[in-house]
């Protein structure tokens, strides 16, 4: 059986966990802290990042957007991509924005872990500005979807999986961020989406990092 190396808070890994379940592809979850010395991630990804999907023959793929593209190409039914080319490209653009919000906030998260006198406020402000810009874009997409349950073609697609994953992680890791107040319709869309069983059973939780990493 396939193994997915994941971490309990990981928004990137959550996308893969949701898609594997939505496609009915069985897998074992191997939960790790990728920054701890005990992690197995580097054995399967030279970039030392999870998620990593390990196949029965021991080979592996990594980088969440690539894993999702791989799964959609190899196991197209049920599809989590829209029909039309422009809608398919839009779904991938939404994933770019969601991953970019995560990337910026991961940088801010680790900056906050440095000794206070070593932290760069300018760097943290820059990352938060990117995240807020990304959230504004997502909010505008949801407005354009006019209250539909799903963003594109009113059916579940990669775009919904990516948005649900980043907003769930934001709620966990940045509980004081005011996006739910600033973007109430985005929050309403998220709250409804997060009730779907594959979202509800993959909700993020915090993890403890044992080793000093910055
Ligand atoms: N672009 C990557 C990002 C993956 C990533 O940053 N994973 C983190 C864990 S988590 O932030 O998703 O919880 C990691 O493994 N970090 C270890 C490292 O950066 O050395 C993807 O989409 O898969």
Distance (angstroms) between ligand 1 centre and the Cα of 183 equals 27
45 lines ligand 1 (CB under 6 A): no
Q: Is 95 in the pocket of ligand 1 (CB under 6 A)?
A: no
CA–CA separation, 117 and 114 (whole Å): 8
At residue 60, φ and ψ (nearest 5 deg) are -145, 155
Cα–Cα distance, 84 to 46 (Å, whole number): 35
The pLDDT assigned to 210 comes to 85
Closest CA to 139 of 175, 94, 92, 170: 94
CA gap 156, 112 in Å, rounded: 35
- How much is the pTM? 0.97
Phi, psi of 212 (to 5 degrees): -70, 125
With a 6 Å cutoff on the Cβ, whether 199 touches ligand 1 is: no
* Contact between residue 74 and residue 19 where contact means Cβ atoms under 8 Å apart: no
pLDDT in tens, the chain (214 residues): 999 999 999 999 999 999 999 999 999 999 999 999 999 999 999 999 999 999 999 999 999 999 999 999 999 999 999 999 999 999 999 999 999 999 999 999 999 999 999 999 999 999 999 999 999 999 999 999 998 999 999 999 999 999 999 999 999 999 999 999 999 999 999 999 999 999 999 999 998 888 878 7
The number of the ligand 1 atom at minimal distance from the alpha carbon of 15 is 22
Q: Can you give the pLDDT at residue 178?
A: 97
DSSP state of 4: E
For ligand 1, is residue 99 a contact (CB within 6 Å)?
A: yes
What is the per-residue pLDDT for 147?
A: 87
204 CB near ligand 1 (under 6 Å)? no
Q: At what angle do helices 11-22 and 85-111 cross, to 10 degrees?
A: 140
Task: Check: CB of residue 73 under 8 Å from CB of residue 81.
Answer: no
* Cα 49 to averaged position of ligand 1 atoms, centre (Å): 5
Residue owning the nearest CA to atom 13 of ligand 1? 10
Interior angle at CA 70, CA 2 and CA 136, nearest 5:
110
Assigned token pair, 30: 């191997």
Q: What is the reported pLDDT for 20?
A: 98
Distance, in Å, from the CA atom of 129 to the CA atom of 186, rounded to the nearest integer, reads: 18
């Amino acid at each position: 059986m396939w193994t997915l190396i994941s971490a309990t808070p990981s928004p990137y890994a959550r996308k893969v966990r949701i898609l594997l379940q939505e496609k009915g592809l069985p897998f074992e979850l191997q939960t790790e802290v990728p920054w701890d010395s005990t992690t197995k991630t580097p054995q399967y990804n030279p970039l030392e990042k999870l998620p990593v999907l390990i196949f029965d023959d021991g080979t592996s793929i990594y980088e969440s957007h690539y894993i999702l593209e791989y799964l959609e190409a190899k196991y197209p039914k049920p599809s989590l991509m829209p029909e039309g080319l422009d809608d398919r490209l839009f779904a991938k653009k939404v994933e770019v924005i969601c991953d970019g919000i995560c990337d910026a906030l991961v940088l801010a998260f680790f900056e906050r872990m440095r000794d206070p006198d070593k932290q760069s406020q300018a760097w943290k402000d820059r990352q938060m500005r990117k995240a807020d810009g990304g959230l504004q874009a997502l909010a505008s997409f949801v407005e354009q979807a006019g209250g539909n349950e799903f963003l594109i073609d009113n059916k579940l697609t990669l775009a919904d999986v990516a948005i649900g994953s980043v907003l769930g992680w934001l709620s966990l890791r940045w509980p004081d961020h005011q996006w739910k107040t600033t973007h109430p319709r985005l929050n309403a869309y998220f709250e409804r989406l997060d009730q779907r069983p594959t979202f509800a059973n993959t909700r993020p939780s915090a993890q403890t990092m044992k080793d000093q990493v910055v």
